[in-house]
Amino acid sequence: MTTTQRFVTTGMHCHSCSMLIQMDVGGIDGVEAVVSDHRTGITEVTYDDSVLDPEQIVEAIVKAGYGAELAGD
């Protein structure tokens, strides 16, 4: 099933930071869409929750060099 979740992402300072996260997270199997905004510090990911879970997305953002946690909408 497709799920969309938001992640609070820290350490982004510019558009290039947002693009890096979008490329890295977007390359994960099961991810359908990624929108990351350095101005708001929010990364929104649409993914197949039968393939991956939010912790794997957080790990990918952290591996890219940024802080991340699931947003408590």
Can you give the pLDDT at residue 72?
Answer: 84
pLDDT tens per residue across span 59-72: 999 999 999 999 98
Q: Considering the entire predicted model, what is its pTM?
A: 0.94
pLDDT tens per residue across span 14-54: 999 999 999 999 999 999 999 999 999 999 999 999 999 99
Cα-Cα-Cα-Cα torsion 37, 42, 45, 49, nearest 10 degrees, comes to 170
